Chains A and B, each alone.
Chain A
Amino acid sequence: MRTFTIGGIHPPGNKISAGQPIHQMPLPQKAIILLNQHFGKPAVPVVTKGESVKVGQLLAKADGVLSANIHAPVSGTISKIGETQDASGYKHHAVWIDVEDDIWMDSIDKSSEIIRTCSLEAPAILEKIREAGIVGMGGATFPAHIKLTPPSGKKVETIIVNGVECEPYLTADHQLMLEKGEEILIGLTILMKAVNAQKGIIGIENNKQDAIAHLKKMAKDWPGIEILPLKVQYPQGGEKQLIEAVTGRQVPSGALPIEVGAIVQNIATVYAVYEAVQKDKPLVECVLTITGKTVGKPGNYLTRIGTPFSELMDFAGGFPENAAKVIAGGPMMGKALVSLSVPVTKGCSGLLILTEAETKRKKSQNCIRCAKCVKACPMGLEPYLFMTLVEHAEWGKLEKERIMDCIECGCCTYSCPSTRPLLDYLKIGKAKVGSLIHARNTKK
């Protein structure tokens, strides 16, 4: 069975919420919609305070090319446009909506009927995806329509769909594949048409046998689509790792996946594409896994964007007494929340509660040069060396040792027997080296 070839780790899966059907999360009383919930420039609000909006109505417009539209995820009255904290604790602009009823735009097809044919041409499909504000739902939140517009002269051979869900605990994509399998296949067919790709491959880790069997059965009816089981290994969901696992080709350092003729999209993104193109539904909700060993009702919940995390917890059995860390996303790459009043954003795949025993960091000890971090690194880098070089502010050497290749998967910190905060230092190094490279390029 295929997988990527360099590094990797096997953290315990802890898929507590596996098999839980997708439940509708109740609407919040007040939704907070961040304007920077995508990679790129924040969107510009097109509504004013006091205005009433319907679900799916444009709330903020993409600012330039590298940005994304944001639509109202709830209906009600705009109560405030101002600053709030995002998941990392930084201040950002947001729109508040006081929720009233659940009135959708008339243009949106809310029926559960599956629409299988799509007669639109590629440019029209891309326009619908752009208009719907779809971004990469795996966590990177890169605007989807840009990813689907390769530079001229580059040919897309394969659309690879990331059904790996290699993060421990998370099960939202898994459940989505089980419940919305056909929609995902239609979405993939639409994406293939949009970029004129001949092949569509859905990579799924072998611990999701039911999803593999379910999709395989249906994929027969969809020409060009292949369901590919992959050996379980973290971080297989990393873009470059997944491309290697699926195609056997490694994307060169500093290059984009298109260099090897591939575009990667997440399962949830493909589903969102189906809804946008076939149902005219913009990205206003996503499936979240709410999980943790102490959570009362772990499960998969269809949640409106803008719902504060505190309301999610109330619905999922309350905030556990001994919770020590609340994480938006998975335990390997998710963000630790500074406060539960932060809202759900596009690209959020889960809410994980960890206890002190599970998550408390141990004291950092001397590096014993055991090379566990070197073995674990899926990019073939030397995290131990990066940490020393960052401590000594050797930015030039860091660049030469290719610190910018680091994908921040956390395998190094996870594996270190001396419990050294390797990734913390790597991020400092990446930020510094990145800004130096940027300064050098702008000078030219």
Chain B
Amino acid sequence: MMDKNLYVSIAPHIHSGDSIEKKMYQVLLALLPAFLVSLYVFGWGSLIVTAISVVSCVVFEYLIQKYLLKGEPTIKDGSAILTGVLLAFNLPSNLPFWIIILGALVAIGVAKMSFGGLGNNPFNPALVGRVFLLISFPVQMTTWPLPGEHSYIDATTGATPLAMLHGHFGQLPDMVSVLLGKTGGSLGEVGSIALIIGGTYLLLRKVISWHIPVSILSTVLIFTFIMAQIAPQTHHIGHLGTGCPFMPAIYYALFHLLSGGLLLGAFFMATDYVTSPMTPRGQIIYGTGIGIITVLIRLFGSYPEGVSFAILIMNSVTPLINTYVKPKRFGEVIK
């Protein structure tokens, strides 16, 4: 009996069984409804863009890890797949394949692996890839196929609801269309309901906590409501809703909440573990910051959409928040 070797280690001797892979695949599962909506809305284009993005992200990570960093392969943890999906969700469904590959190279190569891989990147890799493409290829990146245009290359294009709001052109779609994804936009931002379902799943499974999404969404809601209330003319909301005096402003605020990349950003991008603060209080500061910057860019910037920039800017503030915002310590209250 005693010739048997025993394991000896410090406690605890059991583990929750949680793992990075589990977390990543739970997020991927939560993105599935939105992906299905994008398939329905954009057809082949959606499938092709996602496939190219995911495959190139995984391949780049594998190659960089093996030949440049010379470490053990990390692609099994699912984070490269997730980056690929999130990048694709931020792209129009008719984007030329080489632009997607370039975006994946920047996301994985520059934003993630050059810092040492998963856990070390200061910025959300998918967003870095997306913003790089937006700045480098402004035309291709803002030419949105119209909903129902199922072909990849020669889809008819049109403006997104936010662009319509921003430039005051076109007839805004009604709220039901926004909810169901019958609007123009990037792959992942069209199905608001699907995104809400996915986000709720993540909250219920405790993959993410409510602090970041709720603080982002409520900030945007309140901020846009106030703006519409104090300056209705500038915000072009005369035709929105009727009835009680607050209706147009409420409609306007909800419109901001449901359109564009806000839901995708609030539930799936801003909540990225690596680049968001560690404490609940810090997460609320971070989420509020994202909400404010998003609205500022949407209303006063030259881009119709600002979620990506807002998240990246707040990513850069995360280390500062982690340094100064500490969790509530035990025994502090009565000291």
Chain A residues proximal to chain B, CB less than 8 Å: 6, 9, 11, 89, 168, 240, 244, 249-253, 255, 260, 310, 319, 323-327, 331-341, 352, 354, 356, 358-362, 365-372, 374-375, 377-382, 384, 402, 405, 408, 410, 413-419, 421, 423-424, 427
Query: Chain B nearest CB: distance from A14 CB in Å?
Result: 9
CB <8 Å contact, B330 and A240: yes
CB <8 Å contact, B14 and A405: no
CB <8 Å contact, B273 and A337: no
By a CB distance below 8 angstroms, the chain A residues around B116 are 366
Q: Which of B9, B19, B273, B332 contacts A369 (CB 8 A)?
A: B273
Chain B 1-39, CB-CB to A under 8 Å as 1, else 0, gives 110101111111111101110110000000000000000
Interface residue B241 (Cβ < 8 Å from any Cβ of A): no
- Cα A421 to Cα B11 in complex, Å, equals 10
Q: How many residues of B contact A (CB 8 A)?
A: 42
The chain A residue with its CB closest to the CB of B7 is A325
Interface residue B119 (Cβ < 8 Å from any Cβ of A): yes
CB <8 Å contact, A417 and B13: no
Q: Which of B8, B119, B279, B328 contacts A337 (CB 8 A)?
A: B8
CB <8 Å contact, A374 and B278: yes
CB <8 Å contact, A253 and B279: no
By a CB distance below 8 angstroms, the chain B residues around A323 are 4, 6
CB-CB under 8 A for A405 and B278, given A336-B6, A417-B20: no
CB-CB under 8 A for A319 and B1, given A332-B14, A367-B119: yes
Chain B residues proximal to chain A, CB less than 8 Å: 1-2, 4, 6-16, 18-20, 22-23, 77, 116-120, 209, 273-276, 278-279, 326-335
11 A/B residue pairs, CB under 8 Å, sorted by A: A168-B14, A244-B330, A323-B4, A336-B11, A352-B13, A354-B13, A359-B14, A366-B118, A368-B20, A382-B326, A405-B329
The chain B residue with its CB closest to the CB of A426 is B10
- Cα A366 to Cα B209 in complex, Å, equals 21
- Cα A352 to Cα B7 in complex, Å, equals 13
Q: Which of A310, A336, A370 contacts B13 (CB 8 A)?
A: A336
Not counting A11-B14, A361-B15, a sample of 9 additional A-B residue pairs whose C-beta atoms are within 8 angstroms of each other reads A255-B331, A325-B6, A337-B8, A358-B14, A362-B15, A368-B274, A369-B276, A423-B12, A427-B10
Total A-B residue contacts, Cβ distance less than 8 Å: 168
Query: Chain A nearest CB: distance from B34 CB in Å?
Result: 22
CB <8 Å contact, B16 and A414: yes
CB <8 Å contact, B8 and A341: no
By a CB distance below 8 angstroms, the chain B residues around A310 are 1-2
CB <8 Å contact, B331 and A413: no
CB <8 Å contact, A379 and B330: yes
CB <8 Å contact, B329 and A381: yes
CB <8 Å contact, A384 and B278: yes
The chain B residue with its CB closest to the CB of A424 is B10
CB-CB under 8 A for A250 and B23, given A325-B6, A414-B12, A414-B14: no
Query: Chain A nearest CB: distance from B15 CB in Å?
Result: 6
- Cα A89 to Cα B9 in complex, Å, equals 12
The chain B residue with its CB closest to the CB of A4 is B330
By a CB distance below 8 angstroms, the chain B residues around A335 are 11
CB-CB under 8 A for A419 and B7, given A332-B12, A369-B278: no
Q: Which of B1, B15, B118, B335 contacts A413 (CB 8 A)?
A: B15
By a CB distance below 8 angstroms, the chain B residues around A417 are 18-20, 22-23
CB <8 Å contact, B335 and A253: yes
By a CB distance below 8 angstroms, the chain B residues around A379 are 329-331
- Cα A11 to Cα B276 in complex, Å, equals 27
By a CB distance below 8 angstroms, the chain B residues around A354 are 13-14
By a CB distance below 8 angstroms, the chain A residues around B275 are 369
By a CB distance below 8 angstroms, the chain A residues around B14 are 11, 168, 331-332, 354, 358-359, 414
By a CB distance below 8 angstroms, the chain B residues around A382 are 278, 326-327
By a CB distance below 8 angstroms, the chain A residues around B117 are 366
By a CB distance below 8 angstroms, the chain A residues around B209 are 375
Query: Chain B nearest CB: distance from A339 CB in Å?
Result: 7
By a CB distance below 8 angstroms, the chain B residues around A89 are 8
CB <8 Å contact, B334 and A249: yes
CB <8 Å contact, B118 and A240: no
